[in-house]
Chain A
Amino acid sequence: MNKILKGEGFQNRYRFSGTLTTESPLHIGTGSSSNDPKFFSQGEIKKFKDEKKDPPEVSLIIKDVNNKPIIPGSSLRGVMRHWLQDVLAGFGNQWSQIRNYEERTLTELDQEEQIQRVKDFSWVEFIFGTPFHEGKIDIWDAKCATATDKKNGNEKKFLGWDDNTLTYVETSVAIDPVKGTAIDKLLYKYEVVPPGVKFEVDIVGQNLSDLEIGLVLLALEGFNSHIYPIQIGSKGGNGYGRVKYESGKIYGLSNTEVKDWLTGMLNKGDKSNDGGYYMLPELSEDKKSSLIKEAKSAITGGLQSSR
C-alpha cells in the first residue's frame, strides 16, 4: 500500500476526540518524590519521630499547572504504540517490526534515501514515527475533566484523600517471600489517581489513509480490551492503569473538502471555536466500525497472503 508521510502534500487531517476514565488506580510518576508531612497521618508522624526516622518518600504523579493530574500525550503515545506493536508483530513485518535504528545500513544513507526506506517500514513505525521521520499522529496531553462535588464537605474528613489534586497515597509493603514478614526498609508509598476520574483525549493526524485511521481506532479500542488491555503508568502487573475509552467525535477534512469547509466557516455567524481542528466534518459511527473492520481484515488478510 502506498505510504504518504505527514509532510508530503496535504491529503487530509483528522481529530480523534474522546475520554479516558480510570477504572483502577493510576500512577504516572514524575520520578520525583516528597516526604511532605501532608502525606502522612498524625499517628505515622508521631511514629517516625519516636523512632527518629525520616518519613519515607512518596512517589509523586505528574500534574498540570492547576495541580490536577494529567496523562501526558507522550505516555499515551507510548502505550498505544507498544500495544499495536505487540499485537501486530506476529502478523508480519509489514505491520510491526522491531528495528535497530542505529544500524549502519540506515544511518549511513542520505536523508532522501532514508525517507524512501521509511516507506518500507512497518505501519506501526510509519504511524508513530522513527528517528528518520515524524510520526503521523500527535497525541495531546489528556487533561483531567473531573471535579468533585464539595457540597457535603465529607471529602476533607477522608483519611489521606487530597481533594485539591484528586489523589491519595497508597502504601505497599514488600513481604519477604521466605520469612513471610514485612521488609521494613521496602515500604513504598505512591500517589495515585483513583478510579472514576475522567481525562480528555485528543489525537490529531495528518495525511492518514483509511488503513491508518483504522489502526489508530484499533489502538484506541485497545484500552477497552478485556483480553489484553492497554494500561497506562506503572504497576500494570497489579492491575493499575486500567482505563475505559469512550470515543467522542472524529472530525476529518480531506483536501477536496477544504474549500467547502472554509466557505462554511466564513458564513458562520458565531466565531468562537473556529480555529484549527474544530468545525471539521464528522466521521459517522458506521464509518468508524467499518474502518476498524477493514483494518482487521487487512491484518489477517495479509496473513493469508503471506502464507
Chain B
Amino acid sequence: MEHNPNPFDFVPFSNDGPYLKTRAEFDGMGEMYSGYLELRIKALTPVHIVGYQKESGTERNSYIYRQDGMACIPASTIRGCLRSFIETISNGWVSQVNEKYEKDYAIRHIGFSTFNQYENKHRSGKSIKESAIYQKYDPSGKSGANIDLASYLFGFIKQDETTSNNSSDSPSGKSKLFFEDAYINQNAVDELNEECWAPDISKDAFMGGAKPNASSWWYMQPKEVWKRDINGRFIAEFVGEKFWGRKFYYHQSPNKCMSYYHPENYKWPYIKNSFCKVRLETLRPLSSTETFRIYFDCIPKDLLVFFILCLLPGQNIRHKIGYGKPYGFGSIEFEILRAKMRRKSIHAIPSQLVDMTAQVLTWGGLAWNENQIKRDFKNTFEIIHWESLNKLSKILGIGNFESMLHTYPAFPKGYLFGLPLIYEEEIIKGNLSTKVVEIFNSFGYQLPQKHSIIRMPQKHPKDNPNRWELTTENKVLFRFEKENNRTLSVFSLTGNFATPIPFSKFEKLVGTKGKVSNKTPVSAEQAKKIAQDLFEFKKPIHFQVYQETSLGWDFIKNRQP
C-alpha cells in the first residue's frame, strides 16, 4: 500500500554551524539604502489567518483576522514568514524555539532541551541528553560580536549588554525592516462555506500537531535503538537526539486534502476524537491583498538584493502563510508594485526617495542564477546557503502542486481506512458483499476468497464491544471496529505511527543487525536500514525513509530553486 508524503519536511542544520558576521562586516556589504517597497500578497490557495473562532458541536467557524473591522494579514505574520525563510537560506540562528521539552510520564519519557543539555532522571539513575540543536545555532548571544543575517535585518538585542555600549562592535541593533499590515478588501474574502475547511479533532490538540519526541526518528535524527522494558514487555525504541532541521510545509491543493480528510471518505481515522470541521473564511485564491508597504532602513545593497530575492524567490519557490498549512492553505506570492528609496547621505540632509521599481524587479529576476549573482553581487552569493536553498526548494517548490497530496500518517495502530456504518450488518453476518470487496480493492487490499469474521470478546469493560476479526486459515488479516456510531474502521496488523514495536519483532525483522543491547548507538546508514527492514511492519519510523518512499517523491526530489 502506497502512502502520501507527510505535509511537512525539514531543512537540516549545517554541521559547520551558522553563518555569522559582525555588524560592521554586514554594514560593509555595499552602499546603504533606505526606503520602502509597495507590495501585494496574492493567494495561490485560500489564505486564512485566525481571528476569532466560534465552536458549535463538532464544528467550528474560523473568521479571518481583522483589525478595526478590516480583514488583514498582520504585519507580524508576514514578518515571521520572511524571517524564517531568511534564517533558513542564509543558514542563520534559530530565533524562535521552545527551550525545553520536559520529561513527562504520559507523553514524553525522554526529556530534552533545544540548546542545552538535559538531565533525565530514571529509576536506574541519571542520563544526559545533548541539545536538540547545535548550540552554535542559539541566538542568545554566546557568539561575541557576531550575529546572523536575520538578526542584522530584523533586529537583535544582546542580553545583559550595558546599554551605553554603543560602539560599532556591539551586536545589538534595531530592526532594519518595518512590515506593515496587508489589508484585504471584503470583495476578496470568501465567506464561510461548506467547500472551505480544515480538519481538526474535537476536544484535543490539532491532529498531526507538533509534539516533538526524542523517542522516535520523526522529529529527530537517529541516535540509538533502545531495548525498553515496559512492565516486563520489551519493545524496540528508536531514540533520536538532534532535530532534523527547520520545519516547512509543502504546497498542495486544499481540495484534495479536504476530500482525503473528510470522514465520509473513510481515509483518515477519527477514532478517539471525532472529526471537527473548521470552516475557514479566506482570502480567495488568485485574488490579492490591498497594497501594503515594507520599509527598510540602511540596508547595504547586496543585502537588499538578498531580501528582494527572498520576496520574489524565482519561478519555483513560493511562501506559505497562516493557518491550515498542512492542508494546503496559505500558499502565496509577493508582488512588488513599487520601490522608492535613497542612498545614505553624510554631511547632508537625507534626499527625497526616488523610484527604483525597475531596478528592484531586475534584482528579483536573478533568482536563483548562481553565476550572475556571484558575478554581480559577491556578498549576496556568499550569504545564500545554497544547500539549504536547494532543500527548501523541494519543500516550498510550487510546481505541479495541485497534483500532490500530502497527509499525516495515521496515528492508531494499523488503521487502514473506514467503512460506512451500513455495512455493519454484513460484518455481523460474516458475509461481505462485492461492494465491500470493491472498497477493499480501491484502497489496495485484497480479501481472500475464503474467510470468516468473528466478534472479538470483550475482555475489559472499557473494551469496545463492537470489534471483529477477519481470519483466513487461522490467520488474522483484518480487524473491524465500530467507532463513534459513525464508522467501521478497518485495521491491519501492521503498525502505524504510534505503534510500539515488540523487541522480538525487531530482532526477527532486522536480523543480525538487530543484535542490540540496552542502548545501542546507530549510524545514519544503520538507522535507515533498520527503518527499511521494519517498513512493512511499520512505515513511519524514520522520517526520511517514510518521505522517500512516498507517492510523488521522485517529483519532489527533482525540484530545483
Tell me how far the C-beta of A132 lies from the nearest C-beta in chain B, rounded to whole angstroms: 46
CB pair B163–A183 under 8 Å, yes or no, is yes
- Please report the C-alpha to C-alpha distance between residue A181 and residue B172 in the assembled complex, in whole angstroms: 10
Interface size class of A (residues with CB under 8 A): under 10
Q: Which residues of A contact B272 (CB under 8 A)?
A: none
Interface size class of B (residues with CB under 8 A): under 10
Q: Which residues of A contact B155 (CB under 8 A)?
A: 180
In this assembly, does B174 line the interface, its C-beta being within 8 Å of a C-beta of chain A?
yes
In this assembly, does B173 line the interface, its C-beta being within 8 Å of a C-beta of chain A?
yes
In this assembly, does B157 line the interface, its C-beta being within 8 Å of a C-beta of chain A?
yes
A-B contacts counted at CB < 8 A amount to 20
In this assembly, does A179 line the interface, its C-beta being within 8 Å of a C-beta of chain B?
yes
Closest partner residue, chain B, to A174 (CB atom): B163
- Please report the C-alpha to C-alpha distance between residue A181 and residue B175 in the assembled complex, in whole angstroms: 10
Closest partner residue, chain A, to B174 (CB atom): A180
Tell me how far the C-beta of A168 lies from the nearest C-beta in chain B, rounded to whole angstroms: 27
CB pair B166–A181 under 8 Å, yes or no, is no
Contact code string A166-193 (vs B, CB < 8 Å = 1, else 0): 0000000000101111011110000000
- Please report the C-alpha to C-alpha distance between residue A178 and residue B175 in the assembled complex, in whole angstroms: 11
Q: For chain B residues 170-206, which have a beta carbon within 8 Å of chain A?
A: 172-175
CB pair B163–A185 under 8 Å, yes or no, is yes
- Please report the C-alpha to C-alpha distance between residue A48 and residue B172 in the assembled complex, in whole angstroms: 25
Closest partner residue, chain B, to A186 (CB atom): B163
Name the one of A179, A184, A186 contacting B166, with C-beta atoms under 8 angstroms: A179
Q: Which residues of B contact A180 (CB under 8 A)?
A: 155, 174-175
Tell me how far the C-beta of A175 lies from the nearest C-beta in chain B, rounded to whole angstroms: 10
Q: Which residues of B contact A179 (CB under 8 A)?
A: 157, 166, 172-174
Q: Which of B155, B163, B175 has the most CB of A within 10 A?
A: B163
Q: Which residues of A contact B174 (CB under 8 A)?
A: 178-181
- Please report the C-alpha to C-alpha distance between residue A279 and residue B321 in the assembled complex, in whole angstroms: 79
Closest partner residue, chain A, to B175 (CB atom): A180
Q: Which residues of B contact A176 (CB under 8 A)?
A: 163, 166
- Please report the C-alpha to C-alpha distance between residue A185 and residue B166 in the assembled complex, in whole angstroms: 15
Closest partner residue, chain B, to A182 (CB atom): B163
Closest partner residue, chain B, to A178 (CB atom): B166
Closest partner residue, chain B, to A176 (CB atom): B163
Q: Which residues of B contact A181 (CB under 8 A)?
A: 157, 172, 174
- Please report the C-alpha to C-alpha distance between residue A186 and residue B166 in the assembled complex, in whole angstroms: 15
Q: Which of A179, A181, A186 has the most CB of B within 10 A?
A: A179
Contact code string B484-496 (vs A, CB < 8 Å = 1, else 0): 0000000000000
In the complex, besides A178-B166, A183-B163, 7 extra interface pairs with C-beta distance below 8 angstroms are A176-B163, A178-B174, A179-B166, A180-B174, A180-B175, A184-B163, A185-B163
Q: Which residues of B contact A (CB under 8 A)?
A: 155, 157, 163, 166, 172-175
> Can you report 18 A-B residue pairs in the complex whose CB atoms are below 8 A from each other?
A176-B166, A178-B166, A178-B173, A178-B174, A179-B157, A179-B166, A179-B172, A179-B173, A179-B174, A180-B155, A180-B175, A181-B157, A181-B172, A181-B174, A183-B163, A184-B163, A185-B163, A186-B163
- Sort A-B residue pairs by CB-CB distance and give the 6 closest, nearest first: A180-B174, A183-B163, A179-B174, A179-B172, A179-B173, A178-B166
